[in-house]
């Protein structure tokens, strides 16, 4: 079977591509330009012509995926802008929504062999911010972020801009599928991850060029930035290892019962002190500089998440924090950072 993966040169996309190839799938990797596919071809050269690159340009453009969807059996759509630095919320909302609707519209027109489309959404499309003291489940929607952007535009909270883009994109996906259900051969599964951490396989040359979530991890564990403890800035949520997220996307393609489901894929909730403590307790010391935070500090833990669905539905067994931290720091050592 051939799977189209969008955002294939990104943190999540590149892991999904290599895991799919490893499992015997053929992959069409959608990136903006052919040159953005170079690193993928180099790092997956053992799979030969099972990997092809599709240059699709800007995902916000109408019909961007019209050619790329032709002949594929499944689609994993990870492409979406990830930054907390947008000025106008539209900078995030337009590509997120147009890209998500665009992939479904292309599949409607030209994807007669497609059986399932897996879309990467986010915890930020789920957890309202500021968050109410309720257990987080798949039933929640972050419409508060959309409202913040509607009311405050450029002055909306940075987190609201990204969260609104994910909320609106996911809502648009479900609405599009509902509207065209009778005419399509495929169904939809949505994966909602919290912070994704772990080693990277996409093209990264310096710590500063890491993607947002792994840069946050690097800045926390290595540089000791205590970003995690300010709930007004970073909502406490959860974390999951990138290798489990890649696995979740593939299982979401394969498991018949995953069709029509929205799935929170989370290993655990955390505060950054947990990671500092684990990193510093590892022996041998996994990295030359490690932040310590404030061991023993009493930190607010107010997050409760119902984590039951993903393991049950997708058969996931999660990588533990020790392993994620050890492997991530080993990745930095290998890179000479
Ligand atoms: P990256 O920034 O590493 O990857 C984003 C990908 O999307 C890149 O391939 C990027 O291409 C592509 N992309 C973004 N905007 C456009 C555009 N306008 N046109 C064409 N391509 C575009 O981030 P992640 O891999 O972390 O994110 C992947 C998905 O996972 C996103 O949907 C994100 O919201 C979601 N997610 C990520 C989490 C995390 O902690 N990392 C947590 C929860 C959800 P290019 O490099 O050319 O810009």
The CA–CA distances, whole Å, from 271 to 116, 168, 243 equal: 35, 28, 21
| pLDDT tens digits along 273-287 | 889 999 999 999 999
Which ligand 1 atom sits closest to the C-alpha of 196? Answer: 40
Q: Residue whose CA is closest, atom 44 of ligand 1?
A: 122
- Centre of ligand 1 to C-alpha 307, Å, is 24
| pLDDT tens digits along 143-176 | 999 999 999 999 999 889 999 999 999 999 999 9
Supply the ipTM of this predicted assembly: 0.99
- Spatial CB neighbours of 309, under 8 Å, sequence gap ≥ 6: 138, 261, 263, 264
**Residue indicated by tokens 């080693």:** 199
Indicate if ligand 1 lies below 6 Å from the C-beta of 32.
yes
| pLDDT tens digits along 51-82 | 999 999 999 999 999 999 999 999 999 999 99
Count of beta carbons in the 10 Å neighbourhood of residue 145 = 27
Which ligand 1 atom sits closest to the C-alpha of 56? Answer: 20
Query: 271 near 303, Cβ under 8 Å?
Result: no
Helix residue spans in 181-306 (DSSP H): 212-221, 242-254, 272-281
Q: For the whole model, what pTM was predicted?
A: 0.97
Q: Which two tokens stand for residue 320?
A: 């533990």
Name the residue among 86, 57, 78, 102 with its Cα closest to residue 7.
78
Residues in the chain: 337
- Centre of ligand 1 to C-alpha 295, Å, is 34
Indicate if ligand 1 lies below 6 Å from the C-beta of 17.
no
Q: Residue whose CA is closest, atom 10 of ligand 1?
A: 7
């Amino acid at each position: 079977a051939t799977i189209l993966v969008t955002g294939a040169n990104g943190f999540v996309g590149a892991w999904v591509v290599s895991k799919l190839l490893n499992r015997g799938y053929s992959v069409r990797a959608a990136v903006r330009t052919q040159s953005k596919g170079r690193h993928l071809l180099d790092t997956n050269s053992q799979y030969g012509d099972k990997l092809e690159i599709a240059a699709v340009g800007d995902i916000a453009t109408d019909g961007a995926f019209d050619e790329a969807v032709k002949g594929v059996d499944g689609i994993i759509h990870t492409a979406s802008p990830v930054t907390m630095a947008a000025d106008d919320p539209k900078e995030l909302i337009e590509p997120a929504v147009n890209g998500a609707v665009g992939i479904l519209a292309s599949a409607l027109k030209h994807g007669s062999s497609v059986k399932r489309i897996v879309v990467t959404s986010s915890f930020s499309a789920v957890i309202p911010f500021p968050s109410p003291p309720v257990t987080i489940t798949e039933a929640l929607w972050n419409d508060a972020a959309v409202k913040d952007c509607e009311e405050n535009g450029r002055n909306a909270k940075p987190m609201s801009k990204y969260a609104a883009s994910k909320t609106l994109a996911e809502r648009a996906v479900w609405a599009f599928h509902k509207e065209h259900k009778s005419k399509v051969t495929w169904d939809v599964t949505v994966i909602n991850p919290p912070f994704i951490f772990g080693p990277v396989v996409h093209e990264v040359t310096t710590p500063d060029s890491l993607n947002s979530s792994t840069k946050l991890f690097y800045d926390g564990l290595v540089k000791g930035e205590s970003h995690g403890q300010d709930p007004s800035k970073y909502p406490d949520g959860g974390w999951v290892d990138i290798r489990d997220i890649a696995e979740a996307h593939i299982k979401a393609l394969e498991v018949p019962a995953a069709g029509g489901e929205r799935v929170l894929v989370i290993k655990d909730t955390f505060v950054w002190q947990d990671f500092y403590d684990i990193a510093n307790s590892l022996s041998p010391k996994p990295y030359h500089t490690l932040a310590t935070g404030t061991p023993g500090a009493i930190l607010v833990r107010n997050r409760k998440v119902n984590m039951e669905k993903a393991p049950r539905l997708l058969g996931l067994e999660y990588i533990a924090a020790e392993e994620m931290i050890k492997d991530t720091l080993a990745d930095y050592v290998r890179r000479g950072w």
